[in-house]
Structure formats: C-alpha cells, structure tokens
Structure 1
Amino acid sequence: MKIAIGNDHAGTSYKHAIVDYLKSNGFSVINHGTDKENSVDYPDFIHPVAKDVENKEVDFGIIICGSGNGASMTANKHQGVRSALCWTKEIVALAREHNDANILSIPARFTSQPQAVEMVKTFLNTTFEGGRHQRRVEKIACQ
C-alpha cells in the first residue's frame, strides 16, 4: 500500500514518527512534507498529497499541521478527496467507516505523537461500511 504524507513545520516530528511506523510495517511512503521546523506555508506541502490521492497515485494521504484545519481545507479543494480532521482514533474510525475518508488530517498541537501513530493505524485498518453511507458519500462531490 502506498501512502502520501505532507506536513508543515508544526508536524515535522510527527511526520517522522508516522513514516517510521509506516515503513517498519511495509508501507511505501511518498514524503511531500517539510523536514525542517522553520515556518512554511502548509498549502505548498498539502496540495501534492491531495493531488496524489485525486489522481489515484496513492491509496491514502496523511497530512499534518498545527490545528489540522488549514491542511484539511486545502486537501478538500481537490476532486475525490475526503479529508477528515481527526483528534481521536474513534473519530478516525467513523471517518473511514461512514465517510470513506481517504486523507487523514492530524492536528499536531492537539494530539500527542503516540496518539497520532495510533490514529494512523486505525485509519489504515478500518474499512468503509458502504450501504447507506455510500449514497451520502456520493452526495459530497459537487456536480
């Protein structure tokens, strides 16, 4: 499975922990994020992740910024992207089960690194339920 990851300066250390987890578990990772902690503009690092998901070049995306809001808003500008801002693994599970989220947005300033890694595990191990949720997901896209 191939994962694209992107982050701004607030998410650099989180990204490293998540990438370590992913690689040690056999995932292929495309790193679009900054590797520095100097202030950067998050859209520069989030759009490439969303494009990878939009173009089906990866299975999922993971994005990280301070609040997770700006990153998620940016990603959701892309067709076919369903970025979910999550701060607990329970919310992550619902985002996958009910919304077929294909990008996980993590708020680095409001979660711990171990929490973030657990959220990633949940995201990658939870499947979309389909059924009544399918028609709702279909209604998300602009027509």
Structure 2
Amino acid sequence: MRVHLGSDHAGLELKDHLINWLVEHDYEVVDHGPFVYDALDDYPVFCLRAAEGVAAEQAEGLDSLGVVIGGSGNGEQIAANKVTGVRSALAWSEETAVLAREHNNANVLSVGGRMHSLEEMTRFVEVFLSTPFPGDERHVRRIGQLSTYDATGELPPLPESALRGAVPADAADETDA
C-alpha cells in the first residue's frame, strides 16, 4: 500500500517519524512535505497535495491512503476534505481511527502533532491503515448521500419519521395577528 503524507511545521517531527515507521512496515511512502522546518509554512500547500495523491491513485484503482498532520489536525483535515474523492477524518483515539475506516471509508487520516505522544499517533495511523472498510449497506448509503451532495449540491431527502409532526417552513413564518 502507498501512503501519502503531508503536514506543516507542527507535524514535521511526527511525519519524519512516520516515514521511518511506514518503511519498516513495508508501506510505500510519498512525502509531500514540508522537508525542512519553517514556522511560517502553510498546511494547505502540503496537505492538499497529499490528498490529491490519494484521490488520483484511488481513481486509478490503486491501493493508497493518506495521513495529514498539523498541530491539532483540524485545519489539515479541512484542507484534505476540499479534494474531490477524499474523506478525511480527525483521529484522537484508536477507536476514532478504526471508525473512520469502518463507518466512513475515510481515505485520509488527520492527526494533531501537539495533541498526543509519538507512540499514540503512530498507533492511530497503524490502526487506520490496517482497518478495512467492511462495506455495510448503511455506511455505503451514507457515503453515497455525501458524494451526491458534493456532486449536485442537493440535500438528501428527509425520512418520513422526520416529517411527522414537522411544521412546514412557510407556516412557521405566519403569525397570528
């Protein structure tokens, strides 16, 4: 499996550690930077490239995932999610890393380099990379709703249960005078 990495200055130490760990565990690594410490660098520069790499390779049917790293992981996740075909999830525990794959078929993991120890974050990445997407119908359906929204901008229809007892939007604007 190929793993695309991108970070900013706050994630550089973890990224460098992960490169070695991934190679030791027989992953092919694509490092999108940064390559030197620069406290003023911008995470979108590197995280968008990592996410683009994952999306392009998956579109070709290749086995690849990504990891983006920053101080908190929040901005990096947002950046990765701007790339069509990417579902990036922020992990702060082993469980969230597993659920990102099992429930969301996330293809990019985001972690906060200032939030956890190197050992914890390495474990989040390990769990993410080794967890398959089981393809349960409910998760496929939900991912499909998101993909359709991305493509068309149309909201998924409300279920009948949500419509029972709901006040129509135009009626809520009327007042008794």
TM bracket (short chain)? over 0.9
CA distance in 1, matches of 2:33, 2:146: 27
CA distance in 2, matches of 1:74, 1:32: 14
Aligned length: 143
Moved segments of 4+, more than 6 Å: none
1:11-37 Cα distance to aligned partner (Å, 9 max, x none): 111011111110001111010121322
Measured against aligned partners, the alpha-carbon deviations of 1:113-140 in whole angstroms (never above 9, x if no partner) come to 1011101110111011212211111111
Instruction: Tell me the residue number matched to 1:46.
Output: 47
User: Do structure 1's residue 67 and structure 2's residue 68 form an aligned pair?
Assistant: no
Residue aligning to 1:125:
130
Which has the larger displacement, 37-46 or 96-105? 37-46
The residue type paired with residue 134 of structure 2 is E
Query: RMSD over aligned Cα, in angstroms?
Result: 1.1
The gaps in structure 1 that reach 5 residues or longer are none
Can you give the 5+ residue segments of structure 2 that lack an aligned partner in the other structure?
152-177
The one-letter amino acid of 1:46's match is C
Residue number in structure 2 paired with 1:13: 13
Structure 2 residue 29 is the aligned partner of structure 1 residue 23? no
Q: Supply the distance in 2 between the matched residues of 1:53 and 1:82 (Cα, whole angstroms).
A: 10
1:85-107 superposed Cα distances (whole Å, 9 cap, x missing partner): 11111100011000000000001
Residues 64-87 of structure 1, C-alpha deviations (whole Å, 9 max, x = no match) = 011101111011011110000111
Q: Secondary structure at the match of 1:35?
A: coil
What fraction of aligned residue pairs are identical, expressed as a percent? 40
Match of 1:100 among 105, 110, 116: 105
Rounded Cα–Cα distance in structure 2 between residues aligned with 1:4 and 1:99? 19
* TM superposition score normalised by structure 1: 0.95
Q: Distance in 1 between matches of 2:83 and 2:12?
A: 23
Highest relative contact order (Cα 8 Å, sep 6+), 1 or 2?
1
Once the two structures are superposed, what CA deviation does each residue of 1:32-71 show, in whole Å capped at 9, x if it has no partner?
1213222211111111111111212661010001110111
Equivalent residue number for residue 166 of structure 2: none
Q: Which amino acid aligns with 1:82?
A: R
**1:137 aligned to 2:143?**
yes
SS of match in other structure, 1:91: helix
TM normalised by structure 2 equals 0.78
User: C-alpha separation between the residues in 2 aligned to 1:117 and 1:56?
Assistant: 23
